[in-house]
Homo-oligomer: A and B are copies of this chain.
Amino acid sequence: MQQSTITDIQDYMDQTGAAARTAARALARASAAQKNQALLAMAGALDQARVQLAAANRADLEAGEAKGLDAALLDRLELTPARIDAMIEGLTQIAALPDPIGAITDLNYRPSGIQVGRMRVPLGVVGIIYESRPNVTADAAALCLKSGNASLLRGGSEAFHSNQAIAECIRLGLEQAGLPLEAVQVIATTDRAAVGAMLSCPEYVDVIIPRGGKGLIERISREARMPVIKHLDGICHVYIDDQADLDKAFAIAMNAKTQRFGTCNTLETLLVAEGVAANVLPRLATALTEKGVELRGCAETCRLVPKATPATEDDWDTEYLAPILSIRVVSGLDAAIDHIERHSSRHTDSIVTEDYSRARRFLREVDSSSVMVNASTRFADGFEYGLGAEIGISTDKFHARGPVGLEGLTSQKFIVLGDGQVRG
Q: Is the interface of A mostly helix, strand, loop or mixed?
A: mixed
The B-contacting residues of A in range 393-411, CB under 8 angstroms, are 397-399, 401-403, 411
**Residues A375 and B341 in contact, CB atoms below 8 Å apart:** no
A 99-125 binary contact with B (CB < 8 Å = 1; else 0)? 000100000101010101001010110
Bound complex: CA of A414 vs CA of B367, how far in Å? Answer: 10
Given A110-B384, A110-B386, also A413-B402 (CB < 8 A):
yes
Question: B residues within 8 A CB of A261?
Answer: none
The yes or no answer to A259 lying at the interface (CB within 8 A) is yes
> Given A112-B379, A378-B422, 10 other A-B contacts at CB below 8 A?
A28-B367, A102-B364, A116-B384, A124-B397, A227-B227, A251-B420, A371-B413, A372-B417, A375-B420, A379-B421
**Residues B416 and A371 in contact, CB atoms below 8 Å apart:** yes
Question: B residues within 8 A CB of A123?
Answer: 397-398
**Residues A417 and B374 in contact, CB atoms below 8 Å apart:** yes
A241 to chain B, nearest CB (A): 13
Question: B residues within 8 A CB of A401?
Answer: 411-414
Question: B residues within 8 A CB of A112?
Answer: 379, 384
Given A367-B28, A398-B123, also A114-B379 (CB < 8 A):
yes
The B-contacting residues of A in range 353-395, CB under 8 angstroms, are 363-365, 367-376, 378-380, 384-386
The yes or no answer to A418 lying at the interface (CB within 8 A) is yes
**Residues A416 and B375 in contact, CB atoms below 8 Å apart:** yes
